[in-house]
Amino acid sequence: MKHIYAFENKDDFDRFQDIIERFTQKLLKFQNELEQNYALKDVPKGIVWTSEQLATNIFSQIAIPAFTRKDIIYISPDLTSWRKLFISQLEGQENNYPNIKAFYENMSENHIFTIVGHELTHHSDLFIDEFDDEREDSIWFEEGMCEYLPRKILLSEVEFNEITKIESEMVEIFKGKYGNHSLDDFGTSSYHGSLTSIMFDYWRSFLAVKYLVEERANHDVKMVFDQYHKWDKEGRKVPLTNHFKLDSLFN
SS3 66: strand
Q: Cα angle at 164 between 138 and 242, to 5 degrees?
A: 25
Strands lying side by side in the sheet with 46-50:
2-6, 46-50, 72-75, 66-69
What is the model's pTM?
0.94
pLDDT at 134: 53
- The answer to whether 180 touches 171, Cβ cutoff 8 Å, is no
Residue type, 66: A
User: Which residue intervals of 38-186 are DSSP H helices?
Assistant: 52-57, 79-88, 98-105, 109-121, 140-154, 157-178
Q: What is the pLDDT along the chain (251 residues), one digit of tens a residue?
A: 999 999 999 999 999 999 999 999 999 999 999 999 999 999 999 999 999 999 999 999 888 999 999 899 999 999 999 999 999 999 999 999 999 999 999 999 999 999 999 999 999 999 998 755 555 567 999 999 999 999 999 999 999 999 999 999 999 999 999 999 889 988 766 667 899 999 999 999 999 999 999 999 999 999 999 999 999 999 999 999 999 999 878 76
Spell out a b/e string for 69-91, using b for 16 or more CB atoms within 10 Å of the CB, else e: eeebbbbbbbeebbbebbbebbe
**Of 84, 75, 236, the residue nearest 150 (C-alpha):** 75
pLDDT at 170: 98
The pairing of strands 2-6 and 46-50 is parallel
Q: What's the rounded Cα separation, in Å, for the pair 209 and 26? A: 24
| Backbone torsions φ then ψ of 161, nearest 5 degrees | -65, -35
Residue type, 179: G
